[in-house]
Amino acid sequence: MTDTLNLAMIAITTAMGLLVGYDSRRSATSGRRRWVSRAKVVIGVVGASTAVGVITGIGVGVSATPGKEMGMAVGIGLGVTLFVIFGVMMIAASEVALISLVNDVQTLRTRPIKAIESQSHPRPPQFAEYLLYFLPKNLREPLLGDLEEEYYAVYAKFGKRKAAFWYYAEVALSFYPVVYSWVRRLVKWGVLGWISGVVKRLIP
């Protein structure tokens, strides 16, 4: 009996989680703007797991124990335990779907729908691009443009993952000469400052 209920609960929570994910994903790819956040989906899945877990737990508790109050208590305890187990399981299982879902929605919020549908111009990894914003602007703008131009060519030839790896490598390699140039300048001015300090001490 308990096994059957547990199986039913797993099936119901899985179906509910999949429904939430499927419905939102369908709306995202069809191009209609719709506000869906990760928190909303997680709350929905956890809430459904809790409700099903508590109801099932009360049913099992009342039928398995002699006293009604004791049965309720056992049921609620069982329900909360099941909520913890299945809620966490559902969140973990739907994590991949959630990430792509949230990405889709965020993309729809920030970029024109036509650009996503055509995929004519893939964008480089945003985080890597962000790192280059630490460089001075006169270097950053042409450098970002050049890297994006080359990223486009690498993407077309080797695909998204290799292009992303290539972009990160380029960003990492580009940092060294720039930082080295800064350090050299700092050392130069530091040494000059130190020499002037020594001269000032020697010549009162």
Partner 1 sequence: MDDKIFSLGEFEEIVLLAVRRLGSNAYGIPIRQAVEDARERKIAIGAIYTTLERLEQKGMVSSALGEATPQRGGRAKRYYRLEGLGEQALDAVEQARRRLQGRPSLQPEGGGL
Residues that bind partner 1 (CB under 8 A): 121, 123, 135, 138-139, 141-150, 152, 170, 173-178, 180-181
* Residue 50 dihedral angles phi and psi, to the nearest 5°: -65, -50
The minimum distance between CB 189 and partner 1, in angstroms, equals 15
CA 203, distance to chain mean position in Å, is 62
Q: Hey, what amino acid is at 135?
A: L
Which C-beta is closer to partner 1: that of 64 or that of 178? 178
> Residue by residue, what is the 3-state secondary structure of 9-66?
HHHHHHHHHHHHHHHHHHHHHCCCCCCCCHHHHHHHHHHHHHHHHHHHHHHHHHHHCC
The minimum distance between CB 96 and partner 1, in angstroms, equals 29
The minimum distance between CB 75 and partner 1, in angstroms, equals 58
Which C-beta is closer to partner 1: that of 68 or that of 162? 162
CA distances from 8 to 14, 52, 56, 160, 185 (A): 10, 10, 10, 41, 69
The minimum distance between CB 175 and partner 1, in angstroms, equals 6
Which C-beta is closer to partner 1: that of 97 or that of 178? 178
The minimum distance between CB 153 and partner 1, in angstroms, equals 8
Which C-beta is closer to partner 1: that of 60 or that of 135? 135
The minimum distance between CB 16 and partner 1, in angstroms, equals 41
Which C-beta is closer to partner 1: that of 177 or that of 204? 177
Which C-beta is closer to partner 1: that of 107 or that of 174? 174
Annotate 139-202 with DSSP letters as a single string.
HHHHHHHHHHHHHHHHHHHH-HHHHHHHHHHHHHHHHHHHHHHHHHHHHHHHHHHHHHHHHHHH
